[in-house]
């Protein structure tokens, strides 16, 4: 009797799983072939595949805007994109053109909120898109992927820094890339000397991250921020440094050695001429400042009181304020339950710069002191305290401007009766050997000015009856 041959038919669920597995394997092979991910193991790439979304951007479309917040990181599978940014004088600069196997948006993975670039599709572009929040959660568990993207970030940071320096933005992308290969990175901790007045000039220094003070005879006369440079006067004039440069924040610099500096100027006489004009202008400003006691004191106050560390300042014109008017302070307390600003802070010319959070862009002491990583910046450069805050209070003494307070959490049980009741409960539990099953919930949190980010207006400014109080860019008070 002939034996019947049976055929096993896979269920739809099994076929779906097989198809999904085959698709994942194709994606895995695709990622492994991208230059940017070369050397990243399959296990880490597999984690990346799970987060990917395929997107197509037509030719001519804006993928990222330089001035708009971004939410995604992209791997480029097909097509070309153009990266542009604006230098410190507002001129648009081409950073480069990227092709298959490259990526963009990596800066936001490493907290760089202030050096965005515009990204534009040169032709039809196929990309894998990843949410930044998903990527940030993934990177701690994928060390080689983290290292690969971090290396790209460091290279792009250097190229972007050069592009933002007006003198060097005139170089082509290839010239800036070649120049990056000659730069020597160095890091200086807060308060340390980078250059000393009277010392020998050995390099041009470009501020990559951070802020430095320019000091003469021990007094601060200027401040230099990222995207700017120093040390050129000693090199151009073959004389000792005319000022001490001190790090106001943890500062990363890129050093162009003296020999390479002079070689660059020999190749580009136009840059040499402009650099001499910058040096002459700086010397003239320094001389004028040293002969003007009022301006000198104004700049010393600005540096010592941290007025140059953020993007905006709250200022008022006292002449416009009615006698004993405190409506702005009262409006702040009414809205937030705590006074986040104080009048009569620092007098700069005709203005009173209010005592409040400086919204420090880099090197913020509160951020460094926080054990919970509870601080973050938004797209406007405003420093925010998130729900991660446990109320430990470490940020309060860390802030050099007394801008942070500790306040009860909304709905927290506070007051002497509640404290007495909780103390009694703890004593009873200890006497009976009872171990609490739940950890104690934080009853307080850190509080500071965030420019009323969760509201459509700023309470203090809206309450001002005369228009005396304004939020102004730092450059309006300190154009130099």
pLDDT digits (tens, 9 = 90+) for 242-260: 999 999 889 999 999 999 9
Domains by residue range for the chain, with CATH: 28-169 (2.60.120.10), 182-301 (2.60.120.10), 312-414+445-477 (3.30.70.20)
| Cα–Cα separations (whole angstroms), residue 211 to 117, 253, 310, 356, 424 | 21, 10, 11, 20, 51
Of 42, 38, 30, 51, whose CA–CA distance to 147 is shortest? 38
**pLDDT above 70 for 431:** no
**pLDDT above 90 for 435:** no
Digit-coded pLDDT (tens) for 57-115: 999 999 998 877 778 999 999 999 999 988 877 889 999 999 999 999 988 888 666 67
Two tokens, residue 96 = 């480069």
pLDDT of residue 142: 94
pLDDT of residue 147: 94
Of 191, 156, 147, 195, whose CA–CA distance to 176 is shortest? 156
Digit-coded pLDDT (tens) for 146-200: 999 999 998 888 888 888 888 888 889 989 999 999 999 999 998 899 999 999 9
Which of the residue ranges 18-27, 212-221, 304-313, 440-449 would you say has the lowest mean pLDDT?
18-27
**pLDDT above 70 for 232:** yes
**pLDDT above 70 for 266:** yes
Digit-coded pLDDT (tens) for 350-391: 899 999 999 998 888 999 899 988 998 887 778 999 989 999
Three-state DSSP state, 459: helix
pLDDT confidence of 427, banded at 50, 70, 90? low
pLDDT of residue 84: 93
Of 362, 356, 375, 355, whose CA–CA distance to 310 is shortest? 362
In angstroms, the CA 472 to CA 477 distance is 8
| Cα–Cα separations (whole angstroms), residue 115 to 167, 294, 369 | 18, 34, 24
CB 148 within 8 A of CB 140: no
In angstroms, the CA 102 to CA 176 distance is 18
Mean pLDDT on 36-56:
90
pLDDT confidence of 422, banded at 50, 70, 90? low
Three-state DSSP state, 449: coil
**pLDDT above 80 for 212:** yes
pLDDT of residue 417: 53
- Report the percentage of the chain scoring pLDDT > 70: 87
pLDDT confidence of 227, banded at 50, 70, 90? confident
What residues contact residue 461 under an 8 Å CB cut-off, 6+ apart? 328, 469, 470, 471
pLDDT of residue 283: 87
**CA atoms within a 13 Å half-sphere pointing along the CA-CB vector of 383:** 28
7 φ/ψ angles, rounded to the nearest 5 degrees: -120, 125
In angstroms, the CA 446 to CA 371 distance is 13
Mean pLDDT on 198-210:
92
In angstroms, the CA 30 to CA 20 distance is 15
pLDDT of residue 426: 60
**Burial degree of 11 (CB within 10 A; 0-12, 13-18, 19+):** exposed
Beta strands 383-385 and 53-57 are: unpaired
H or E segment and range at residue 362: none
**pLDDT above 60 for 201:** yes
pLDDT of residue 429: 54
List residues bridging with 131 in a β-sheet.
72
Of 40, 56, 217, whose CA–CA distance to 125 is shortest? 56
Radius of gyration of the chain (CA): 28
pLDDT of residue 30: 84
Mean pLDDT of the chain: 86
What residues contact residue 329 under an 8 Å CB cut-off, 6+ apart? 339, 341, 342, 343, 460
| Cα–Cα separations (whole angstroms), residue 308 to 369, 461, 472, 480 | 21, 21, 12, 11
H or E segment and range at residue 141: none
């Amino acid at each position: 009797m002939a034996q019947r041959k049976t055929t096993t038919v896979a269920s739809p669920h099994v076929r779906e799983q097989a198809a999904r597995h085959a698709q994942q394997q194709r994606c895995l092979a695709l990622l492994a072939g991208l230059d940017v991910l070369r050397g990243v193991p399959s296990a880490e790439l597999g984690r990346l595949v799970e987060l990917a979304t395929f997107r197509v951007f037509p030719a001519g479309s804006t993928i990222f805007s330089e001035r708009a917040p971004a939410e995604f990181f992209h791997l480029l599978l097909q097509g070309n994109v153009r990266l542009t940014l604006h230098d410190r004088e507002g001129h648009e600069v081409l950073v480069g053109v990227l092709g298959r196997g490259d990526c963009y948006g990596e800066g936001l993975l490493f907290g760089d909120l202030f050096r965005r670039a515009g990204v534009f599709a040169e032709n039809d572009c196929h990309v894998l898109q990843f949410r930044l929040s998903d990527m940030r959660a993934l990177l701690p568990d994928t060390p080689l992927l983290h290292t690969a993207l971090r290396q790209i970030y460091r290279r792009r940071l250097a190229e972007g820094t050069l592009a933002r320096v007006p003198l060097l933005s005139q170089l082509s992308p290839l010239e800036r890339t070649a120049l990056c290969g000659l730069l020597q990175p160095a890091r200086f901790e807060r308060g340390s000397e980078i250059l000393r007045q009277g010392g020998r000039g050995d390099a041009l220094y470009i501020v990559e991250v951070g802020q430095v003070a320019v000091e003469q005879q021990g007094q601060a006369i200027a401040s230099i921020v990222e995207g700017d440079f120093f040390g050129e006067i000693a090199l151009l004039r073959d004389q000792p440094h005319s000022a001490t440069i001190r790090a106001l924040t943890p500062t990363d610099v890129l050093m162009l050695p003296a020999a390479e500096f002079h070689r660059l100027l020999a190749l580009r006489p136009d840059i040499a001429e402009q650099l001499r004009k910058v040096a002459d202008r700086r010397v003239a400003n320094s001389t004028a400042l040293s002969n003007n006691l009022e301006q000198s004191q104004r700049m010393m106050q600005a540096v010592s009181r941290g007025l140059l560390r953020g993007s905006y300042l709250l200022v008022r014109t006292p002449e416009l304020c009615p006698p004993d008017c405190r409506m702005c302070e009262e409006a702040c307390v009414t809205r937030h339950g705590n006074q986040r600003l104080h009048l009569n802070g620092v007098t700069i010319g005709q203005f009173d710069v209010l005592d409040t959070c400086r919204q420090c862009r880099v090197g913020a002491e509160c951020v460094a002191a926080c054990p919970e990583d509870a601080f973050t910046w938004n797209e406007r450069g405003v420093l925010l305290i998130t729900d991660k805050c446990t109320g430990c209070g470490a940020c309060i003494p860390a802030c050099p401007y007394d801008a942070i307070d500790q306040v009860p959490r909304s709905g927290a049980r506070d007051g002497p009766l509640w404290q007495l009741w909780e103390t009694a409960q703890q004593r009873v539990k200890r006497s009976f050997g009872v171990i609490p099953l739940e950890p104690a919930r934080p009853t307080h949190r850190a509080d500071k000015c965030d420019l009323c980010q969760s509201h459509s207006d700023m309470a203090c400014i809206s309450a001002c009856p005369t228009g005396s109080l304004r939020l102004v860019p730092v450059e309006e008070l300190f154009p130099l």
